[in-house]
């Protein structure tokens, strides 16, 4: 019974941790309202879907979406239109609009909002996957806010007559992810503004720590001009007292010790003598081998 209760408590804790994360991811941004308008004589959008079409003289059908952005920063924001039926080759773009509009399904084209495509995002078509996608993060900005975007034909200004197409879509989805960033701390005026003397601060804003000394108010102590008493002065070495460099015998070795004594150099002389003797023997043997010196 206790084990079952422990498992139930653990499961509840996991759910409590996962649900806020899932809710936060789902509410980063989403489509809250949509509509489409047309002047196409024979629109054929599926039930619950919409149409975007281009005629020789310009757009025939357009669509709009209201998007609620809850995240202060979107790390992902992909708008996807699922194609239902396509005639021709669609070329689409997403543009913001500030015009007021009411949701409509195949409404009169005169009631459609006006896009502002000076800042737009072209949609990428995946013909095999029957989908058109666009990263719309730069159009929605930062939240929390609600923005209005339109999907309209991507016109080619260099071509007088546009290439007609008619694309119908079954749905539009927004894959969004993001999080609310921590807001910067608000200065309530309790801390020092930095205009006072160097090193001072308000102790009430630092957890009761004692304030540092005011370096600007306390002068540095004057240097002493009176020499210390004789017993406080360090005794100088004799060589230093007469103003000459110390000799070898004055560097800390007892008298009669060190390399300045004759027997102190005996090992060095022995090594040199052995090296000279070995070199002389090698030279004699080399000269005999080439006939320059007779054997004895």
pLDDT tens digits for range 54-81 = 999 899 999 999 999 999 988 999 999 9
The CA distance from 81 to 50, in Å, is 10
pTM value is: 0.54
Coil/strand/helix, residue 91: coil
Coil/strand/helix, residue 259: coil
pLDDT tens digits for range 29-56 = 999 999 999 999 999 999 999 999 999 9
Task: Give the pLDDT confidence score for residue 270 in this predicted structure.
Answer: 72
Q: Is the pLDDT of residue 89 over 90?
A: yes
One-character DSSP codes across 198-243: TT---GGGTTTPPPPP-TTTSPPPPPP-SPPPGGGSPPPPHHHHHT
Higher-confidence position of 59 and 224: 59
Task: Give the pLDDT confidence score for residue 100 in this predicted structure.
Answer: 92
Residue 163 to residues 12, 131, 160, 207, 291: CA-CA distances in angstroms? 58, 20, 10, 71, 108
- The CATH number assigned to the domain with range 28-179 reads 2.60.120
Q: Where are the domains of the chain?
A: 28-179
């Amino acid at each position: 019974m206790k084990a079952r209760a422990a498992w139930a408590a653990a499961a509840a804790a996991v759910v409590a941790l996962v649900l806020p994360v899932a809710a936060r991811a789902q509410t980063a941004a989403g489509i809250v309202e949509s509509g489409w308008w047309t002047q196409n004589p024979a629109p054929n959008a599926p039930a619950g879907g919409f149409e975007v079409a281009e005629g020789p003289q310009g757009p025939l059908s357009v669509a709009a979406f209201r998007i609620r952005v809850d995240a202060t920063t979107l790390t992902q924001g992909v708008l996807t239109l699922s194609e239902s039926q396509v005639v021709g080759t669609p070329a689409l773009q997403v543009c913001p609009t500030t015009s007021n509009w009411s949701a409509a399904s195949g409404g009169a084209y005169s009631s459609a909002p006006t896009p502002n495509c000076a800042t737009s995002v072209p949609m990428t078509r995946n013909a095999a996957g029957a989908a058109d996608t666009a990263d719309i993060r730069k159009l929605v900005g930062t939240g929390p806010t609600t923005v209005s975007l339109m999907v309209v034909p991507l016109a080619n200004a260099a071509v007088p007559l546009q290439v007609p197409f008619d694309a119908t879509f079954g749905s539009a989805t927004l894959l969004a992810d993001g999080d609310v960033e921590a807001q910067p701390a608000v200065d309530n005026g309790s801390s020092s503004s930095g205009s006072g003397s160097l090193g001072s601060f308000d102790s009430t804003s630092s957890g009761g720590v004692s304030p540092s000394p005011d370096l600007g108010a306390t002068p540095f102590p004057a240097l002493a001009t009176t020499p210390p008493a004789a017993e406080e002065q360090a005794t100088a070495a004799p060589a230093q007292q007469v103003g000459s460099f110390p000799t070898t015998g004055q560097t800390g070795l007892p008298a009669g010790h060190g390399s300045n004594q004759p027997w102190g150099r005996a090992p060095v002389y022995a090594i040199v003598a052995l090296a000279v003797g070995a070199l002389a023997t090698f030279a004699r043997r080399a000269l005999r081998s080439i006939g320059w010196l007779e054997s004895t």
